[in-house]
Homo-oligomer: A and B are copies of this chain.
Amino acid sequence: MEAAIGIDVGGTGTQLALVREDGVILDRVSFPTDRYSESQSFIQQLLYQVNRLEEKVETGMRIMGIGIGAPACNSRKGTIEYAANLPFELSFPLARIFEERSGYPTRLMKDSGAAALGEKLFGGAKDFDHFIVITLGTGLGSGIMVKNEIVTGAYGYASEFGHSQVPGTYRQCGCGKTGCLETYASASGLKRTAFELMAFRNTSSPLRRYSFLDLGSEQIYQAALEGDPIALEIFEQTGKVLGASLANLAVTLEPEAIFLAGGLAQAGDILFKPVEKHLHQNIFPDMRDRIRLLPSRLGHNESALLGAASLIFKMQPSFTS
């Protein structure tokens, strides 16, 4: 059987996995990303971890290549760029350098695009050629499949749906703009909505016990489960903003399905119901049956690694730089 190494480069930690072509993760290792502010030592550490995984290759198994997902990169050029959430100060051609140093074909893609590839190969999108994966974590990532290809845009920077603008809103976004969708539809957006609602309403709520630093989406979810009106309103408002924004994408691209993935998607119906309500309100009635809103079918902790490995199993075009 063939295998690939999938690498998920995150702001705090980088994970690597040896992935069999049937989607089974054979082994995984990780190291803290934030100890490496300089690309050479980061690549050195990556190579060391790849070597560790190579030792786990079973008899008769071949590693076909290395797929890397990263939050800020150019999927076309294979470079790490604009990495506000990564510790590297400068852009660097990670795919090319790593291909030379490791000897394996190496592909790099935005983590959300890789997640969409993973959903196609190993998850709930096996039968779809037109679909969207929205990853709801600290921010909002988007992977868009059109006619069985990930949309990377003219220059490799496409799929920044999380930074589309919600008119009439002005929350400061980490990207420098204001009113971006991810300032609402993400774990951090949920918290901001919580604080806005606690300021606006008089209703008592268990959420009032937490400082801004202490409150997490987990507490908001728990409060909503217990029927707290403020927590429920947070999910309703989040669903309104996200559902309406997804509707605009839906009437424009007409996907077969929209998958919600990432930590926040674990909230289940408490999130999905309001998103679906507002999605349906804003698309044509006859589209409601055709465009499905679905949870990702990849395990929450496996999604990024399977997605990265998918870059190799469903080999993407070589980088151009």
Contact = CB atoms under 8 A, between A and B. Distances in A.
Interface in A193-237: none
A254 B284 contact: no
A128 B155 CA distance: 11
A244 B284 contact: no
A147 interface: yes
A252 B164 contact: yes
A159 interface: yes
Interface in A68-112: 82
Interface stretch (A23-31, A44-52, A165-173, A308-316): A165-173
A142 B284 contact: no
Contacts of A161: 248, 251-252
A61 interface: no
Nearest to A159: B252
A306 B244 CA distance: 35
A67 interface: no
Nearest to A142: B252
A113 interface: no
A149 interface: yes
A282 B165 contact: yes
A142 to B, nearest CB: 7
A260 interface: no
B290 A155 contact: yes
B147 A149 contact: yes
B154 A251 contact: no
Contacts of A164: 247-248, 251-252
Interface centre among A152, A160, A244, A290 (most CB of B within 10 A): A160
Interface string A290-302: 1000000000000
Nearest to A248: B164
B255 A153 contact: yes
B129 A284 contact: no
Contacts of A128: 154
Nearest to A278: B165
A283 to B, nearest CB: 8
A165 B253 contact: no
Interface string A263-291: 00000000000000000001011110010
Nearest to A290: B155
A82 B286 CA distance: 10
A255 B152 CA distance: 10
A192 interface: no
Nearest to A287: B157
29 contacts: A129-B154, A142-B252, A144-B252, A147-B149, A153-B253, A153-B254, A153-B255, A155-B256, A155-B290, A157-B287, A158-B252, A158-B253, A159-B252, A159-B254, A160-B252, A161-B248, A161-B251, A163-B284, A164-B247, A164-B251, A165-B244, A165-B248, A167-B167, A167-B168, A167-B241, A168-B168, A176-B284, A177-B284, A248-B248
Interface of A: 82, 128-130, 142, 144, 146-147, 149, 151-161, 163-168, 175-177, 241, 244-245, 247-249, 251-256, 282, 284-287, 290
